[in-house]
A and B are shown apart, each in its own frame.
Chain A
């Protein structure tokens, strides 16, 4: 209760872009400031002086949904190409430079974002800004680096296919769920497309999307504000603005009709099913309620579905994964179940529907709601546990929220969800008409 009041109080000092958002009273918030360079690059700074460590994340608003038909896999390929050297940083040297000083780095691409992040001792901040800016401005894209990366990715594709016997079914299910090419194809792309990508395809994709006006730079950790501004001006202000990527998602509306399909999979070890519920968010707060519902249903070993399907005394499922999936402006709730025994697949499906039905007829208790919220809070804290986590979190939220200045208020919105809200969204979205099921049979 006290926390809620503090959260609201922090609203009063949320100010416009470029100013400090100070919410020291709210222990879940941390201060950050936001500004924009003349070339359009968004800059977010989050100071944390606990340890002499600094993290830098650069995120571009580009992912698999930006790939045109026939060119799938470009975003994933670019994630790897970004380490193949730039005008002043030889191939692989980005990695070596960070490793030499005890730092670490990573990168990931998704449907609508590609992010590159690294952490180093704070006295090496300039090194990272130099390298990140160099690849934003002058990435070396040539036949050799393209061929090398293509070879690596084809190998990754083969490895994933052998590691996950249900992968092809997942791709089919995504096509059923999202329907159109930009949203439904896999991040890895198709093998044919990857083989046919040309040097010009890659260069054009890089020139269109890996530009300052399509990116956000976040620096989190121990730094001197004046010095960091000098370094940003030196390394990033000088990069010319790119053309506006001009990507506008097609208008889209989910259909309202149940879809059931069955596929045979010779690689599958046991029968399985994918189940999806389309989430055309009617009310702005539905996403918060759906998230808490997800924790009640699926998160943790004491959640309803886990206890029902993976109970050690009556384990009817071998594997159970579920959660809300967001692909830019489209949302879905996806469930994947592999039966523990070929004869129990129907039991697994009935158990899922039965747990959903229970939530339609009885409110979750206050204790269950509180547990779900505390698990959410814990995961929220895990997302901001280190300077690197914070940098990545701020970049993600910059793209996810309509206005990053609303970030300090976000957690409170999840905490305000009531058990009525939870039951309302179950009734609203978890209906037969709104569902899709892909049954996977073994051969």
Chain B
């Protein structure tokens, strides 16, 4: 009896082992197959007779098209006395024209299955239309009316001022928006880029004269760039664009050179009061001149990836997964004409602002002082390479990337050589880039509801406290308490 039990057991074990053996391939992850070549769409460019550069990117996967206009007048070009003028002009010309009311424009866009977005950056303003590709003529005509028949009437200005004022009022409830804005103002203090951080108070200074002057100076075809993406060839694009925009007159425009960026010389921690905010936002920023030859942008992308590119990166793993201080903690790097900006952003529970800020500072110092392992660098590169084609799948995402490339003339360096450049990033270059960013005195900006945080703010050695408008209120000092 006993023997038969043992025999049965042995048979069952053998069957089980056999079954498991048959599926041995399940035990380990399958290796990747050879990389497939990334064939990026070709960018063709041709100028019209009035100087407007037209670029075409042929894409035939869906019957959608994007149409973008890049104007080299960003927020840094707004008059010093009236920051926000660039944003106001962009909203004004897209809200109504001399021929179409705001509701007509809404109606027209929706009738072509379209949408329109406007982005005003430091150096540029970018208009992006997305629409069903049967309606290129309608989209171009609308763009033509916005450029050639803009509505700068007092009535239109009043309406835009009211809308943007309410919009800023709403955004000022968000501690992330407030912290980022304040960081920009301090990092670029006394530089034209400081105007990116304008507050709601700026709205009342916007006036017809400044707006018209700005429009007249920057909205000229010989500075602008039109990009069409979809099922279209260059001949058709230039013919149609010329048909609508050939009366757009070139101007005499010589851009003012931007002064060099001077990174902050002293470590600073600031707090902005955002009444009623449930959570807090923490930003850490670092700037460097974009002409700095020591800064290798692909290496900086790898640094950012390691530090806070995703939920597997150091900041997220530390602040959220390990310590449970933060809802998220990420980092990102951006380049514009005059500078590079590396920033860390985190959303944290109010009771953890002090330890969160300390951990963010610790992580940025660590990445600049301790060698980074080869495997961590390889993993970051693997993410960046793998994610690149995924991130440009959607037409709107490709259009955004394309406008950035064209605005900053990065066609060759970025678009065509991205893969090679990331592959060539070495541990030494990563370390150098990290040192360049994080060995300089950091700027930390925290935004949250002060009434919830009085005791927490006292934990900092010293912290400058500002109101929502960015006006300095007082500075705490632990030693004096």
Contact = CB atoms under 8 A, between A and B. Distances in A.
A97 interface: yes
Contacts of B36: 52, 121-123, 222
A104 interface: yes
B132 A378 contact: yes
Contact of A51 (B114, B384, B385, B393): B393
A51 B389 contact: yes
B395 to A, nearest CB: 7
Contacts of A381: 62-64, 113, 132
A127 B382 contact: no
Contacts of A95: 311
Contact of A52 (B37, B111, B113): B37
Contacts of A222: 36
A4 interface: no
B33 A52 contact: no
A133 B30 CA distance: 13
A342 B387 CA distance: 49
Contacts of B35: 52, 121, 123
Contacts of B29: 97, 127, 130-131
Which of B22, B32, B103, B392 has most chain A Cβ within 10 Å?
Answer: B32
B388 A102 contact: yes
B118 interface: no
A124 interface: yes
Contacts of A385: 62, 64, 393-395
B359 interface: no
Nearest to A99: B312
Nearest to A130: B30
Contacts of A104: 387, 390
Given A52-B389, A119-B390, A300-B110, A28 B63 contact: yes
Interface in B99-139: 103, 106-107, 110-114, 131-132, 135
Interface in A119-144: 119-127, 130-131, 133-134
A386 interface: yes
Contacts of A238: 22-23
Contacts of B25: 234
A102 B384 contact: yes
Nearest to A367: B111
Contact of A374 (B62, B112, B382): B112
B248 interface: no
Given A238-B23, A375-B110, A103 B387 contact: yes
Contacts of B76: none
Contacts of A253: none
A238 B379 CA distance: 32
B260 interface: no
A130 B36 CA distance: 20
B415 interface: no
Interface in A67-103: 87-88, 95-97, 99-103
A384 B384 CA distance: 24
B113 A100 contact: no
Contacts of A384: 62
A374 B388 contact: no
A48 interface: yes
Given A53-B393, A381-B63, A102 B103 contact: no
A301 interface: yes
A302 B310 contact: no
B59 to A, nearest CB: 8
Interface string B360-402: 0000000000000000000100111111111011110000000
Contact of A101 (B61, B131, B382): B382
Nearest to A86: B26
A100 B387 CA distance: 10
B383 A52 contact: no
A121 B110 contact: no
Contact of B383 (A99, A119, A302): A99
B96 to A, nearest CB: 13
Contact of B310 (A99, A301, A374, A378): A99
A120 B38 contact: no
Nearest to A126: B30
Contact of B311 (A52, A99, A371): A99
A387 interface: yes
A50 interface: yes
Nearest to A125: B33
A428 interface: no
Nearest to B392: A51
Contacts of A127: 29-30, 32
Given A48-B61, A53-B390, A88-B27, A102 B38 contact: no
A6 B26 CA distance: 46
A51 B37 CA distance: 8
Contacts of B21: none
Contacts of A367: 111
A158 to B, nearest CB: 13
Nearest to B59: A50
Nearest to A380: B113
A300 B110 CA distance: 7
B383 A100 contact: yes
Given A227-B33, A378-B64, A381-B64, 20 more contacts: A52-B35, A52-B36, A87-B26, A88-B26, A96-B312, A99-B311, A100-B382, A102-B383, A119-B390, A124-B32, A125-B33, A130-B30, A222-B36, A238-B22, A238-B23, A302-B103, A375-B113, A385-B64, A385-B394, A386-B394
17 contacts: A28-B63, A51-B389, A52-B389, A96-B312, A99-B312, A100-B383, A102-B387, A122-B36, A123-B33, A126-B32, A238-B22, A302-B110, A374-B112, A374-B113, A378-B114, A378-B131, A385-B62
A-B complex: 8 closest residue pairs judged by Cβ atoms: A102-B386, A378-B113, A102-B387, A52-B36, A126-B30, A371-B111, A374-B113, A386-B393
